[in-house]
Amino acid sequence: MTGNTAIRARGLTKNFGKLCAVNNLDLDVPRAAIYGFLGPNGSGKTTAIRMLCGLLTPTSGSASVLGFAVPGDAIALRPRIGYMTQKFSLYGDMTVRENLAFIADIYSYDRSDRNRRIDEILREYDFVDRARQHAGTLSGGQKQRLALACAVLHKPELLLLDEPTSAVDPRNRRDFWARLFRLADSGTTILVSTHYMDEAERCHRLAILDRGVKVADGSPQELQDSTGMNIIEVRADNPQRAATILENLPGVMSVTQLGVRLRVLVPQEIPGARQTIDAELRKHGLTAAVAEVSASLEDVFVAVTQARPERAA
C-alpha cells in the first residue's frame, strides 16, 4: 500500500451461508478524501465497512487499512479509526458531556488532556449550551451531530460512516456534509455509505455497489462521462403515456419520470436515439420536446445496475 492510499482491498468477499453479501471487492481509497459507497439497501455497503474496520472476518480476499491488515491487526487499528452507524448508538439517559467522556474512556484518552478535548468538541459541534442535556432528548439532527462528535473525539485518521444521514432533514444533512469537508481538509480520510444521489455527488470518489458487486468506480464526473448511454430528455404533455410508449421501444434500457420530464437511456451503439424517440412519440400523436442531455449520477446508477442480470433466487 502506498503512502497516498488509506484503504486497499483485493478480492474481498463475505458469504453468509448461500448469500454472497460482498463479492470480490477491489478498493483503493486515497488519503484525506471523501470516498463514497453508493447503493440501495442490501447492496453490501454495511458488510464491506464492517470488514474494513475488523468487525467481520472476510470469507476470502485481503484488505489493508492505514497499513494494518484486517481483521488480523484490527485491535491495533481500532484507536486510529472512528465508526458511526446508521442507528443512534449512544446512551440516551446520559448527558451529552457524559457520552463524550464515556467515549474518551473507551479510547483511553489521556486524562490530563481529556477535559480540554471534550470542551473543544462541545464548542466545535455546537453543544456548549446542551452539555448537560440528556442525549435521548435531542432532535434527530442533534443526535447525528453528537454521534459524529463522539466518532472524531480521539482524532482518528480514518472515519467510517454507515448511512449517517438517513434519518435527518435536508438542512441537517447539508450541515453534516460541511463538517465532513472540513475534516477531509484537515487530513482525515472518510469512507461514507449512502443511497442518496446528491450525497454521492459530493464525494471526491465513489464506488457503486449492486448486490454485493462493485459495478463502477471513479469520481462523480468520471462516472457521468462514461455511462455508455445516450441520455434523452423528453418533455411531453402526457408524460405517463409517453413513458409507456417508450418503454416498449426496442433499444431503450430505461425510462424514468421526473415530474413532467422523462429520462430515457439508450446504449450509445444504437444510432439516432433522439430522432427515433421523437418519431415514435409523433407516430402515437404525442408532441414532445426531445433533447440529448448530459448524464446525471442517477443515470449512471441506472445504467450500471440495470445492465446486470438479476440474481437467482
| Cβ-based neighbours of 220, under 8 Å, separated by 6 or more | 200, 201, 203, 206, 297
Query: Residue 115: pLDDT above 70?
Result: yes
Tally the residues of the chain.
Answer: 313
Query: Residue 154: pLDDT above 50?
Result: yes
Per-residue pLDDT, averaged over 49-57, amounts to 95
State residue 308's pLDDT score: 60
**Which tens digits make up the pLDDT trace of 248-298?**
999 999 999 998 899 999 999 999 999 999 999 999 999 899 999 999 999
Residue in the block written with cell 470488514: 51
Helix/strand/coil for 220: helix
Handedness of CA 226, 229, 230, 235 (dihedral sign): negative
Q: How does strand 19-30 pair with strand 5-16? A: antiparallel
Query: Residue 306: pLDDT above 60?
Result: yes
Q: Which domains does the chain have, with CATH numbers?
A: 5-223 (3.40.50.300), 228-294 (3.30.70.100)
Q: Do 206 and 224 form a contact (C-beta atoms < 8 A)? A: no
| Cβ-based neighbours of 106, under 8 Å, separated by 6 or more | none
Q: Torsions phi, psi of 228, nearest 5?
A: 75, 15
In angstroms, rounded to a whole number, what is the distance separating the alpha carbons of residues 214 and 65?
19
Residue in the block written with cell 409517453: 242
| Cβ-based neighbours of 160, under 8 Å, separated by 6 or more | 49, 52, 53, 81, 82, 83, 84, 191, 192
Instruction: Kindly report the pTM of this predicted structure.
Output: 0.91
Query: Residue 310: pLDDT above 60?
Result: no
- Extract the C-alpha cell encoding 42: 442490501
State residue 250's pLDDT score: 94
In angstroms, rounded to a whole number, what is the distance separating the alpha carbons of residues 82 and 159?
5
Q: Do 86 and 196 form a contact (C-beta atoms < 8 A)? A: no
Residue in the block written with cell 471526491: 204
Closest residue by Cα to residue 82 from 47, 56, 106: 106
Q: Would you call the peptide bond into 79 cis, given omega within 30 degrees of 0 as the criterion?
A: no
Q: Cα 59 from chain centroid? A: 23
Letter string b/e over residues 112-138, b meaning 16 or more CB atoms within 10 A of that residue's CB: eebeebbeebbeebebeebeeeebeeb
pLDDT tier at 212, thresholds 50, 70, 90: very high
In angstroms, rounded to a whole number, what is the distance separating the alpha carbons of residues 50 and 163?
13
More confident residue, 126 or 237: 126
Residue in the block written with cell 488509506: 6
- Extract the C-alpha cell encoding 154: 480521539
